Amino acid sequence: MPNTTDQVTTAEQLAAMPNDGKRYELVEGVLHMMSPAGSEHGEIAAKLLVRIANHVEPRRIGKTFAAETGFLIRRDPDTVLAPDVSFVSFDRLGRLTRHPGYLPLAPDLVAEVVSPSDRFGDVETKARTWIEAGVLIVLVVDPQSATIRDYRSADRIQVHSDGFLDLDDVLPGFQLDVADLFA
């Protein structure tokens, strides 16, 4: 991710930027422009969001968020990331259920869908950044290989290419049909 400017270094400065139609993340005080997602990326992210939201909403266990949602996961230097899909339990949200700005917390679960232009090292670094911030499950969804890398910690990573991915520890009763997500 290229550095686009040296002027934006805080979450507040990022939030105050005029809307130029581009998406940005702030990583350790450095602004990064994100390329628009391709159609396959968008379709898979949407399918995953719908499956999770359809499980979460009737159970009233938390909130799901789409790709434009920024999470302020570190201060000084500030880091604001926007995963493709996220879930935050009501326990973690607390009183922030109607928060207008970046949510100042790490979600319970995030999913990052890999784009063809993404470098493996960058995706791995982002997954580890989420884990270090306190995310309980990070899913790296790779359409090219039709696999999901499931991070539960920096050392506990499993790769799934078929079957059901059990996310019960964060989404009670939820299992993701891996092959169906890529169908």
Question: What ranges do the domains of the chain cover?
Answer: 37-67+80-182
> What's the pLDDT tens digit per position in 48-60?
999 999 999 999 9
Query: Does residue 144 have a pLDDT over 60?
Result: yes
Query: Does residue 4 have a pLDDT over 50?
Result: no
pLDDT value, residue 1: 40
pLDDT bracket for residue 37 (50, 70, 90) = confident
pLDDT bracket for residue 2 (50, 70, 90) = very low
Query: Does residue 173 have a pLDDT over 90?
Result: yes
Highest mean predicted confidence (pLDDT) among 4-18, 116-130, 144-158: 144-158
> What's the pLDDT tens digit per position in 111-137?
999 998 889 889 999 999 999 999 999
pLDDT bracket for residue 95 (50, 70, 90) = confident
What is the pTM (predicted TM-score) of this model? 0.93
CATH topology (fold) of 37-67+80-182: tt1808, chain A (3.90.1570)
pLDDT value, residue 109: 98
Query: Does residue 142 have a pLDDT over 90?
Result: yes
Cβ pair 14, 82 in contact under 8 A: no
pLDDT value, residue 169: 95
